[in-house]
């Protein structure tokens, strides 16, 4: 028995060395060898089928035959959250690299990076390797990508098999050809595109016959591929994980939640889902959430009316850092724009127009919000006439202070709308707080409206919903994007060594408590696809890979590790 184990380990080392010497495109991390408990005569292999544009909720409604059958031996979700930008390109890059859009920043039609014109372009631009590249390096196996999308095929050109096809039926036929004739194939990624095309003709909903029929046809192709897979001559000695998923639900321009079904003969059927409220713990000076470029949408200007409201819970009493702002740092009396800052148990709002020839800072009380409980803070600005522009603050819907800020003149600033530290007189950086439900209205809400809706649980029911140009629940629980759920506006991007914190029953007034919050919470994104592929192929995910995805099957090993 010892000789057999030594032989297996030696073979694994040889295969890893061969794979490393064959990789030319990237510098190679040190080799990673498998744990002995995962080595057996059964070969692990993985097949990923992405049916682009399938919304999780609509797939659940349609329940096509073959995908439903796979679901019986799977861990699955109909609520895979979109990753950052979420368009076709960005989602596929996230799915292929395991890295969220906030880090890879790829999202153009030619799979190029989207450059932020406000960012410092002199720093290092990092590229992330795709999952097929890692598998080729660490495993003596072949890989394939079969897609009718030419630019995606070129992006993943490092696959061993990358046939040029132009239709979904050709994708199906080429996939069957590869998996039945290539004995050493170990990782296959398949892409169907007709469903997304059908959605543009009548909508991405189950009631659209075009969309439903396209999903049923794609499901037929899935069944054909699974049938062919089981005819492989060595299938009995192979342990296939089949992942059926989507790059995103809905359209390229309006992506919705997708789905993921990870099926293996040893898995018990179980839906995995996010539970409870999961938000960012903002600490220190470097953990920030900000809008990279709002094209002036959130600029406070000289005459604009606006209202900013956020749920916040402080964990410490400190002074005097800013914690939400659309403005410069506040040094002495100089500030342009606005901010809320903490001062021990209290918070206050500060505004100024220093850089625009207006008055310097004036601070307006915001109440004792830093008492370690959740509170609603509100700032409302209204242009009354040419001599009066009022600023009013509220705590939990109750007015705290109001004043005429017309002497500040123009509050316009190129600073980003930011949650997190803002410098005040080079003072303390000892922030620690959670935030939720940041709302930005392009109108000055009146006192009665603010009081009546301070803990509103369904933002679409707000009487001024049409004026909502930014709404960030801050509840993704994964990756580096804080999604904007308003009818218009922009997402926020996280920076710093951020962590998502599950709050259990400790939720703000605007959040409905989840009775299952104490249970297992599994949050899936497109990045989970390649993370799970690497996990299944026994490729250790090293920190330098930059993987954001959750290799969630590692929480169910009792079902398939024998």
For 427-486, what is the HEC assignment?
A: CCCCCEEEEEEEEEECCCCCHHHHHHCCCCCCHHHCCCHHHEEEEECCCCCCCCEECCCC
- The reply to whether 449 and 554 lie within a common domain is no
* Structural domain count, the chain: 2
Q: What is the pLDDT of residue 514?
A: 85
Residue 41: pLDDT band (50, 70, 90) is low
Q: Read off the CATH number of the domain in which 232 is found.
A: 3.40.720.10
**Does some domain include residue 512?**
no
Q: What is the pLDDT of residue 8?
A: 34
**Does some domain include residue 62?**
yes
**Does some domain include residue 515?**
no
- The reply to whether 220 and 88 lie within a common domain is yes
- The reply to whether 335 and 231 lie within a common domain is no
Chain centroid offset of residue 524 CA: 9
Task: Please give the mean pLDDT across all residues of the chain.
Answer: 90
pLDDT(126) > 50: yes
For 374-408, the pLDDT digits (tens) are 999 999 999 999 999 999 999 999 999 999 999 99
Residue 19: pLDDT band (50, 70, 90) is very low
For 243-299, the pLDDT digits (tens) are 999 999 999 998 999 999 999 999 999 999 888 999 999 999 999 999 999 999 999
Looking at 501, 532, 548, the residue that finishes a domain is: 501
Residue 14: pLDDT band (50, 70, 90) is very low
- The reply to whether 181 and 216 lie within a common domain is yes
**Does some domain include residue 122?**
no
DSSP bridge pairs for 380: 307, 392
Whether the CB-CB separation of 352 and 334 falls below 8 Å is answered with yes
- The reply to whether 272 and 288 lie within a common domain is no
> pLDDT above 90 covers what percent of the chain?
82
**Does some domain include residue 506?**
no
pLDDT(239) > 90: yes
**Does some domain include residue 516?**
no
Q: What is the pLDDT of residue 83?
A: 79
Host domain of residue 383: 280-501
- The reply to whether 257 and 245 lie within a common domain is yes
Q: In the block, which residue shows the tokens 């506040």? A: 330
Whether the CB-CB separation of 448 and 310 falls below 8 Å is answered with no
- The reply to whether 264 and 374 lie within a common domain is no
- The reply to whether 297 and 423 lie within a common domain is yes
Prediction pTM value: 0.82
Query: Taking Cα atoms as reference points, which of 188, 170, 174, 193 lies closest to residue 247?
Result: 193
- The reply to whether 294 and 383 lie within a common domain is yes
Q: Read off the CATH number of the domain in which 389 is found.
A: 2.60.120.200
**Does some domain include residue 66?**
yes
For 452-481, the pLDDT digits (tens) are 999 999 999 999 999 999 999 999 998 889
SS3 27: coil
Over residues 232-245, the mean pLDDT reads 97
- The reply to whether 349 and 404 lie within a common domain is yes
For 501-525, the pLDDT digits (tens) are 889 889 999 999 888 766 678 999 9
For 312, list phi and psi in degrees, rounded to 5.
-145, 145
pLDDT(106) > 80: yes
Query: Taking Cα atoms as reference points, which of 395, 408, 423, 434 lies closest to residue 309?
Result: 395
pLDDT(122) > 80: no
Q: In the block, which residue shows the tokens 């029929």? A: 213
- The reply to whether 253 and 390 lie within a common domain is no
Cα distance between residue 183 and residue 178, in whole Å: 9
Cα distance between residue 498 and residue 419, in whole Å: 12
**Does some domain include residue 510?**
no
Residue 9: pLDDT band (50, 70, 90) is very low
Looking at 470, 501, 532, the residue that finishes a domain is: 501
Cα distance between residue 98 and residue 529, in whole Å: 7
Q: What is the pLDDT of residue 82?
A: 85
DSSP state of 276: S
- The reply to whether 384 and 434 lie within a common domain is yes
Residue 12: pLDDT band (50, 70, 90) is very low
For 45, list phi and psi in degrees, rounded to 5.
-145, 160
């Amino acid at each position: 028995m010892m000789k057999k184990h030594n032989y297996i380990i030696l073979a694994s080392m040889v295969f890893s060395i061969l794979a490393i010497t064959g990789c030319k495109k990237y510098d190679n991390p040190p080799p990673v060898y498998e744990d002995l408990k995962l080595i057996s005569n059964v070969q692990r292999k993985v097949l990923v089928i992405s049916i682009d544009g399938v919304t999780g909720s609509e797939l659940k409604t349609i329940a096509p035959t073959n995908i439903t059958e796979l679901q019986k031996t799977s861990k699955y979700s109909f609520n895979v959250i979109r990753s950052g930008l979420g368009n076709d390109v960005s989602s596929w890059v996230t799915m292929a690299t395991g890295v969220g859009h906030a880090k890879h920043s790829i999202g153009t039609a030619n799979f190029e990076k989207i450059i932020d014109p406000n960012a410092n372009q002199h720093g290092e631009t990092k590229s992330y390797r795709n999952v097929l590249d890692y598998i080729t390096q660490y495993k003596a196996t072949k890989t394939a990508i079969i897609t009718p999308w030419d630019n995606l095929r070129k992006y993943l050109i490092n696959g061993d098999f990358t046939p040029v096809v132009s239709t979904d039926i050709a994708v199906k036929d080429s996939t069957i050809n590869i998996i039945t004739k290539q004995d050493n194939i170990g990782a296959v990624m398949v892409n169907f595109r007709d469903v997304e095309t059908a959605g543009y003709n009548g909508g991405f909903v189950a009631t659209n016959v075009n969309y439903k029929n396209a999903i049923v046809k794609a499901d037929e192709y899935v069944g054909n591929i699974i049938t062919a897979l089981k005819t492989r001559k060595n299938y009995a000695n192979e342990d296939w994980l089949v992942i059926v998923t989507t790059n995103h639900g809905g359209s390229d321009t309006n992506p919705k939640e997708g789905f993921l079904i990870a099926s293996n003969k040893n898995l018990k059927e179980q839906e995995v889902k996010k539970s409870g409220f999961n938000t960012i713990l903002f600490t220190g000076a470097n953990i920030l959430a900000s809008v990279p470029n709002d094209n002036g949408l959130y600029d406070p200007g000289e005459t604009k009316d606006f209202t900013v409201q956020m749920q916040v819970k402080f964990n410490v009493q400190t002074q005097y850092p800013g914690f939400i702002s659309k403005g410069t740092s506040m040094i002495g009396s100089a500030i342009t724009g606005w901010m809320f800052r903490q001062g021990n148990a209290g918070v206050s709002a500060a505004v100024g127009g220093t850089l625009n020839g207006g008055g310097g800072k004036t601070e307006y009380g915001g109440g004792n919000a830093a008492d370690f409980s959740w509170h609603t803070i509100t700032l409302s600005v209204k242009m009354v006439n040419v001599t009066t522009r009022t600023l009013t603050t509220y705590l939990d819907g109750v007015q705290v202070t109001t004043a005429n800020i017309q002497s500040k003149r123009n509050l316009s600033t190129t600073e980003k709308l930011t949650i997190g530290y803002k410098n005040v007189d080079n003072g303390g950086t000892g922030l620690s707080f959670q935030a939720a439900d940041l709302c930005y209205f392009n109108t000055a809400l009146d006192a009665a409206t603010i009081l009546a809706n301070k803990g509103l649980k369904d933002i679409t029911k707000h009487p001024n919903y049409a004026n909502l140009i930014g709404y960030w629940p801050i509840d993704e629980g994964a990756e580096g994007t804080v999604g904007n759920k308003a009818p218009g506006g922009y997402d926020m991007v996280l920076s710093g060594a951020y962590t998502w914190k599950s709050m259990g029953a400790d939720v703000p007034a605007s959040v409905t408590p989840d009775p299952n919050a104490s249970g297992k919470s599994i949050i899936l994104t497109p990045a989970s696809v390649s993370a799970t592929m690497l996990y299944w192929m026994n490729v250790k995910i090293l920190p330098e890979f930059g993987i954001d995805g959750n290799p969630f099957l590692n929480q169910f090993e009792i079902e398939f590790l024998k």
